[in-house]
């Protein structure tokens, strides 16, 4: 049996897709094939009923008709059935074998009927012509209806034609020989057609199979993250939306790696990708069954949890994921460390949809990174209140007339040696007609997360430049820039045009930027800073030491000023570690040719220690709180401030 199947190509795995397509195409034609056979057999038997013996005119055709009818009914019932590969092989083989057997029986039967004449009224008419017609029509019909099953179609040609035509040639009469030659030529043409059709059919099936494979591959590529092998953002949101209306509880957690940017910067993207793959493997291994772990992009991952006990289990799962990511990552001979901060939102019958819980988890992640990193922040009613408040502030800020509502205050900076006022830092204040006075730490982060920061920065700079034009020539102006400002070339060009049109010397303007600004966009930031420096402005790094302190940033950006964060100055006189940090930063500034500015100086003791350590400038309430524009001139002209 296996030898027969092998000869017919039924054991060739490369033809598996063709076999399935053959049986799929044939199963709807099979009932018609057997119906044609029944009609032809009955017709030939009927015309020879009176002339031929009962065995040939009744019993043989009756037996063939019953067999064929059974096959016709069987195929009709299976016309909508789905065949697997084993069933396809079996049915193709059975069709070829039965087709051959039925062909042999019908040829022998027709040859047995060939000598008998058909009696008709008015005389006698030879029955030879009807037999030849039967054989020809039956062969052609069967071959064309079996076209998709090449083995069966060729078997019919190779069995019927040699047997029948050989018998006609043996008779030796010219007319029989001529008929045999015609049948052979027709059979040869059909043989060629079957082979050509079979090749085209196989090519079409393989083309369709390859197209389906490519479609599946494209679907996988569209839904899988290439770097980690995890589901990507597209797939995650598909899974997220698919649980809408699901009665089973779910939780959405979003995690962001801490310290990954520094690894990329220090060791390159190849090492960074290896770290991502290792972290992805840890997350996938620890996630419970049924969870969807995805990489959303960059160093951000998400986990979708489902289950009846998800409310109790989700926080514990997140803690385990954080602990797993905190373990050292060993790549070849290199050991690196990253952390994971997680925002979590749990569906607890609040009527919120999956996408809303995603937004909640994203907000909780933002709070987790704000509140210390390496922790899980569960979205709570307090967060809900903050979100509403933030939304209210954002809407009010979008409606605000910034020129009228934004007020600029100025905090002085003094020389550590002489106590002379050197410059003022411009600080934005918002007096909303709807909300009243809004604190900077409330509205500035909102503006920074949207395009609102562009207009806010331009407004503050324009107003500050107008005020600074009235100050003494030696007094400088410091203005803060956000990450959005520095990563928008259009914004930087706009700020440069504002400075040029103000009439104030660019040399009196210093732009302050925070360390966190470098995390994801160092190249864009570097280009923007280079443009501002080319104009003549100075650059200060604000809050140094509390963000992503890296000597590579100092090397790339060559800042003119480094500001020591107030958290180190606050414990300067009581905490030796903080004093050592401040001393180190001041020495760093001296080594790279930058001025050092201490923020948050509030006591004379702090000022004395800072001056002894070599700090260049002071800023803090000890020397002056933020001043309104009409009081700046009086303060600047009051002489030196007592330092110690």
pLDDT value, residue 242: 86
Confidence of residue 319 (pLDDT cuts 50, 70, 90): very high
pLDDT single digits (tens) 472-516:
888 999 999 988 898 899 999 999 999 999 999 999 999 998 765
Q: Report DSSP letters for 126-153, one per residue.
A: -SHHHHHHHHHHHHHHHHHHTTTSHHHH
Is pLDDT at 302 greater than 80 in this prediction? yes
Q: How far apart are the first and last CA of the chain?
A: 106
Is pLDDT at 10 greater than 50 in this prediction? no
**How far apart, in whole angstroms, are the C-alpha atoms of residue 433 and residue 444?**
17
pLDDT value, residue 469: 92
Tokens for 271, please give them.
């090492």
pLDDT value, residue 117: 65
Q: Are 113 and 58 in contact (CB under 8 A)?
A: no
pLDDT single digits (tens) 78-127:
888 888 888 888 888 888 888 888 888 888 888 888 888 665 534 444 56
Give, in degrees to the nearest 5, the angle at Cα 135 between 132 and 141: 135
**For residue 234, what are the CA distances in angstroms to 222, 237, 263, 449, 472?**
7, 5, 27, 23, 58
**How far apart, in whole angstroms, are the C-alpha atoms of residue 511 and residue 481?**
6
Is pLDDT at 2 greater than 50 in this prediction? no
Confidence of residue 364 (pLDDT cuts 50, 70, 90): very high
pLDDT value, residue 343: 94
Q: Report DSSP letters for 185-237, one per residue.
A: HHHHHHHHHHHHHHHHHHHHHHHHHHHHHHHHHHHHHHHB-TTT-SB-HHHHH
Is pLDDT at 300 greater than 50 in this prediction? yes
Confidence of residue 614 (pLDDT cuts 50, 70, 90): very high
Average pLDDT, the chain: 85
Give, in degrees to the nearest 5, the angle at Cα 159 between 125 and 156: 90
Is pLDDT at 644 greater than 70 in this prediction? no
pLDDT value, residue 127: 61
Buried b (16+ CB within 10 A) or exposed e, 442-462: ebbebbeeeebbbbbbbbbbb
By residue count, the chain amounts to 644
HSE-up of residue 287 (Cα within 13 Å, Cβ side): 23
pLDDT value, residue 14: 43
Per-residue pLDDT averaged across 292-312, rounded? 90
Is pLDDT at 8 greater than 50 in this prediction? no
pLDDT single digits (tens) 568-596:
898 888 888 888 989 999 999 999 899 99
Q: Are 481 and 464 in contact (CB under 8 A)?
A: no
Q: Which residues fall within 8 angstroms of residue 171, CB to CB, at 6 or more apart?
A: none
pLDDT value, residue 131: 83
**How far apart, in whole angstroms, are the C-alpha atoms of residue 43 and residue 65?**
11
Give, in degrees to the nearest 5, the angle at Cα 445 between 368 and 629: 145
**Chain-centre distance for alpha carbon 45:** 69
pLDDT value, residue 305: 92
The residue assigned the tokens 């052979």 is 184
pLDDT value, residue 40: 87
Percent of the chain with pLDDT over 70: 91
Q: CB neighbours (10 Å) of residue 387?
A: 14
Longest pairwise C-alpha distance within the chain: 146
pLDDT value, residue 417: 87
Per-residue pLDDT averaged across 319-341, rounded? 91
Confidence of residue 517 (pLDDT cuts 50, 70, 90): low
Is pLDDT at 177 greater than 70 in this prediction? yes
pLDDT single digits (tens) 17-64:
777 888 888 888 888 888 988 898 888 888 888 888 889 888 988 998
Beta strands at 561-564 and 292-297: parallel, antiparallel or unpaired: unpaired
């Amino acid at each position: 049996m296996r030898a027969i199947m092998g000869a017919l190509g039924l054991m060739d795995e490369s033809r598996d897709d063709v076999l399935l397509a053959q049986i799929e195409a044939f199963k709807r034609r099979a009932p018609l094939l057997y119906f044609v056979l029944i009609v032809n057999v009955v017709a030939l038997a009927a015309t020879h009923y009176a002339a031929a013996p009962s065995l040939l005119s009744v019993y043989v055709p009756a037996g063939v008709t019953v067999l064929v009818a059974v096959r016709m009914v069987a195929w009709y019932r299976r016309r909508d059935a789905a065949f697997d590969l084993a069933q396809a092989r079996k049915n193709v083989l059975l069709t070829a074998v039965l087709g051959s057997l039925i062909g042999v029986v019908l040829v022998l039967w027709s040859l047995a009927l060939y000598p008998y004449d058909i009696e008709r009224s008015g005389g006698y008419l030879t029955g030879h012509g009807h037999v030849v017609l039967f054989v020809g029509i039956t062969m052609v019909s069967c071959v064309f209806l079996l076209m998709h099953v090449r083995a069966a179609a060729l078997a019919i040609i190779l069995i019927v034609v040699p047997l029948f035509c050989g018998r006609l040639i043996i008779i030796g009469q010219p007319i029989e020989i001529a008929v045999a030659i015609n049948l052979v030529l027709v059979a040869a043409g059909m043989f060629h057609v079957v082979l050509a059709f079979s090749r085209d059919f196989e090519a079409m099936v393989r083309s369709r199979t390859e197209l389906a494979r490519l479609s599946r591959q494209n679907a996988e590529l569209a839904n899988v993250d290439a770097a980690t092998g995890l589901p990507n953002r597209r797939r995650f949101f598909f899974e997220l939306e698919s649980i809408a209306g699901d009665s089973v509880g779910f939780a959405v957690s979003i995690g962001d790696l801490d310290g990954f940017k520094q690894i990329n910067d220090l060791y390159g993207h190849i090492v960074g990708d290896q770290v991502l793959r290792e972290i992805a493997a840890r997350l996938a291994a620890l996630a419970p069954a049924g969870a969807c772990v995805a990489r959303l992009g960059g160093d951000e991952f998400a986990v979708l949890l489902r289950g009846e006990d998800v409310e109790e289990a989700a926080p514990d799962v997140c803690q385990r994921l954080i602990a797993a990511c905190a373990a050292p990552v060993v790549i070849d001979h290199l050991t690196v460390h990253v952390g994971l901060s997680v925002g979590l939102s749990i569906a607890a019958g609040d009527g919120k949809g999956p996408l809303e819980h995603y937004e909640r988890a994203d907000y909780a992640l933002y709070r987790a990174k704000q509140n210390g990193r390496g922790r899980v922040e569960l979205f709570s009613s307090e967060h809900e209140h903050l979100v509403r408040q933030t939304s209210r502030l954002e809407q009010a800020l979008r409606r605000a007339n910034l020129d009228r509502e934004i007020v600029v205050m100025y905090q002085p900076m003094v020389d550590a040696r002489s106590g002379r006022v050197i410059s003022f830092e411009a600080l934005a204040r918002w007096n909303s007609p709807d909300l009243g006075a809004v604190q900077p730490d409330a509205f500035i982060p909102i503006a920074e997360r949207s395009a609102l920061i562009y207009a806010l920065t331009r407004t503050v700079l324009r107003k500050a430049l107008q005020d600074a034009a009235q100050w003494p020539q030696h007094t400088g102006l410091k203005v803060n820039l956000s990450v959005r400002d520095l990563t928008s070339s259009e914004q930087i060009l706009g700020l440069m045009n504002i400075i040029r049109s103000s009439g104030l010397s660019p040399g009196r303007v210093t732009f302050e930027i925070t360390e966190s600004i470098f995390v994801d966009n160092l190249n864009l930031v570097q280009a923007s800073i280079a443009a501002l420096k080319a104009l003549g402005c100075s650059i200060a790094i604000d809050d140094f030491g509390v963000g992503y302190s890296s000597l590579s940033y100092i090397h790339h950006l060559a800042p003119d000023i480094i500001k020591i964060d107030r958290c180190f100055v606050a414990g300067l006189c009581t905490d030796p570690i903080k004093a050592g940090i401040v001393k180190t930063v001041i020495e760093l500034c001296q080594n790279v040719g930058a001025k050092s500015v201490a923020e948050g100086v509030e006591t004379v003791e702090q000022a004395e220690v800072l001056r002894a350590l070599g700090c260049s400038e002071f800023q803090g309430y000890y020397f002056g709180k933020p001043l309104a524009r009409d009081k700046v001139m009086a303060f600047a002209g009051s002489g030196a401030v007592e330092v110690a």
